[in-house]
A and B are shown apart, each in its own frame.
Chain A
Amino acid sequence: MNIRCFQRNFSAALPPLVPLQLPSPMETHLWYVLPDEVKSWGLLNQYSELLSPCEREGVNRMRGDQLKKRALLARALVRTTIARYQTNSQMNPRSLKFRKNLYGKPEVEWRDEDNFSPLPLQFNLSHTSTMIACGVTVNVPIGIDIEEKQRRTKNNLIAFAQRYFSAYEVKVLTTISDPEVQRQEFIKLWTLKEAYVKALGKGFSAVPFKTFTIRFRETTLRNFHPPGSSVSEASDIIVESFDDPTNPTNNWQFTLLEVAGSHYGAICIKKDRTAGANELMKLTVWKTVPFVEDVCVSGTDAVVDLGRIIEQ
């Protein structure tokens, strides 16, 4: 290709991805890319070589360069993220095959003829115009959703909530007097509800937003403290479903974050059967430019846990 004359630092082969151990049960890994940090056209071209022809067609169907870039980065992020966890042999991100489950939820299709072994992982993707995120778990369903903190609805917020949210949620939103706080809480609630539906993986019509409530609940974390110490109060995020008795809602754990100072992110995972009743989801977050730089941002102010307020 004659684009090679524009490449400066990149050789034909991409450097290997830094391999990583799979998350443990009840652990989630979150990887995110900031499109504005990916400016090298040579790098974008190399990402595009990782995609299947079908995915590239999908990218080309997007209207305009920004949307094309976003779609490209989303596919590149998913492929490179999953490929990292193959520690035994080098998994070429390009070799991964994807399919959709019965309801349209994307998943990896592991095949016998591939020369790498299947990984017991599940993933979910979400993006905005300024961030693309991919969550990974071992064995348990996961759903994630990110939204820009500054996102505004075109419709009146309360009218929107009345149309789509549960009565309890509308009540909670309506009682917030500060419009900016109300807007922020709306966005947080939206991401939590999206994450739940995506984790369930049965499509949006299977779990209409109005049929479940997500709310904060005070809990007391007694068993994390040795006898004699003070008891912590915490706020849990829980979901209550109105009409699905086959899906006990205490099966799902939520995390609500502020990411990179610019986004709200919600993660919903199914609790592993072996996990203790009060075991908390452990989360590790990386900011990445695949093949260029991975930075673990857990414990920095790039990741703020909004869902857990521990007071003593």
Chain B
Amino acid sequence: MASSTGLSLKFSPLSTSFKQNKVRGICNVNSVSLPSRGMRLGSLRLRVSCAAKPETVDKVCSIVRKQLALPKDSPVTGESKFSALGADSLDTVEIVMGLEEEFGISVEEESAQHILTVQDAADLIEKLVEQKSA
């Protein structure tokens, strides 16, 4: 569509002009969420020592790509947020279902609710897989 191409040329100045790096109040480092989700910062520290294996992250990335029909060159990494990739709630639920089938696990709604990034999903998967074999 001609109009959207024209738009994409002009969006870059739009985004760089909003590079305000003030982080205040409710605006956390990783997400625009409640202070009560500040537990996310705690999990940031945990992540360093208990990070999921790269293979797990890769499998999650591939399931996410498939669900969201992302172009091959679109980068998806552990840091990628599902919402930023365009996943809506139906996509997220489908992704969780895909992960359950791929890894033979069962994800409770409480846990699923905290999955915001690919890394979150990979970490949860490894935790559940470990619990299953324990």
Chain A residues at the B interface, C-beta cutoff of 8 Å: 1, 3, 6, 39, 41, 44-45, 48, 53-69, 99-100, 102, 104, 127-129, 147, 151, 153-155, 159-160, 163-164, 190, 194, 203-205, 208
Cβ contact within 8 Å between B97 and A203: no
Contact of A53 among B22, B84, B89 (CB under 8 A): B22
Kindly list 8 other residue pairs between chains A and B, CB separation below 8 angstroms, not including A48-B14, A205-B110: A53-B18, A53-B27, A59-B18, A65-B4, A69-B7, A155-B98, A160-B97, A205-B112
Contact of A41 among B6, B27, B88 (CB under 8 A): B6
Cβ contact within 8 Å between B10 and A6: yes
Question: How many B residues, CB 8 Å from partner?
Answer: 43
**A164 and B13 alpha carbons, distance in the complex (Å):** 43
CB closest chain-A residue, reference B74 = A63
Q: Tell me whether A45 and B14 are in contact in the complex, defined as CB-CB below 8 angstroms, given that A39-B3, A205-B110 are known contacts.
A: yes
Cβ contact within 8 Å between B113 and A205: yes
How far apart are A216's CB and chain B's nearest CB, in angstroms?
22
Cβ contact within 8 Å between B84 and A63: yes
CB closest chain-A residue, reference B11 = A65
Which of chain A's residues have a CB closer than 8 A to the CB of B11? 65, 68-69
**A39 and B5 alpha carbons, distance in the complex (Å):** 11
Which of chain B's residues have a CB closer than 8 A to the CB of A59? 18
Query: Which parts of B90-128 form the interface with A (CB within 8 Å)?
Result: 90, 93-94, 97-98, 100, 108-110, 112-113
Cβ contact within 8 Å between A57 and B109: no
29 residue pairs bridging A and B, Cβ less than 8 Å apart: A1-B17, A53-B22, A57-B18, A57-B32, A60-B15, A62-B83, A63-B74, A63-B86, A65-B4, A67-B84, A67-B86, A68-B15, A69-B11, A99-B26, A128-B88, A129-B86, A151-B90, A153-B94, A154-B67, A154-B94, A155-B94, A155-B97, A155-B98, A160-B93, A163-B97, A164-B93, A205-B108, A205-B109, A205-B113
Which of chain B's residues have a CB closer than 8 A to the CB of A154? 66-67, 94, 98
Cβ contact within 8 Å between A58 and B4: no
Question: Interface centre among A39, A57, A190, A208, by most B CB within 10 Å?
Answer: A57
Which of chain A's residues have a CB closer than 8 A to the CB of B22? 53
CB closest chain-B residue, reference A145 = B89
Which of chain B's residues have a CB closer than 8 A to the CB of A6? 10
Which of chain B's residues have a CB closer than 8 A to the CB of A194? 89
**B34 on the interface (CB 8 Å rule)?**
yes
Closest 3 CB pairs of A and B: A205-B109, A205-B110, A65-B8
Q: Tell me whether A62 and B86 are in contact in the complex, defined as CB-CB below 8 angstroms, given that A41-B10, A57-B20, A208-B109 are known contacts.
A: yes
**B36 on the interface (CB 8 Å rule)?**
yes
Cβ contact within 8 Å between A104 and B8: no
**B33 on the interface (CB 8 Å rule)?**
yes
**B81 on the interface (CB 8 Å rule)?**
yes
Cβ contact within 8 Å between B32 and A54: yes
Which of chain A's residues have a CB closer than 8 A to the CB of B32? 54-55, 57-58
Cβ contact within 8 Å between B18 and A56: yes
**A190 and B89 alpha carbons, distance in the complex (Å):** 10
Question: Interface centre among A3, A53, A194, A203, by most B CB within 10 Å?
Answer: A53
Cβ contact within 8 Å between A54 and B18: no
**A65 and B6 alpha carbons, distance in the complex (Å):** 11
CB closest chain-B residue, reference A207 = B109
Cβ contact within 8 Å between A3 and B67: no
**A91 and B113 alpha carbons, distance in the complex (Å):** 35
Which of chain A's residues have a CB closer than 8 A to the CB of B88? 127-128
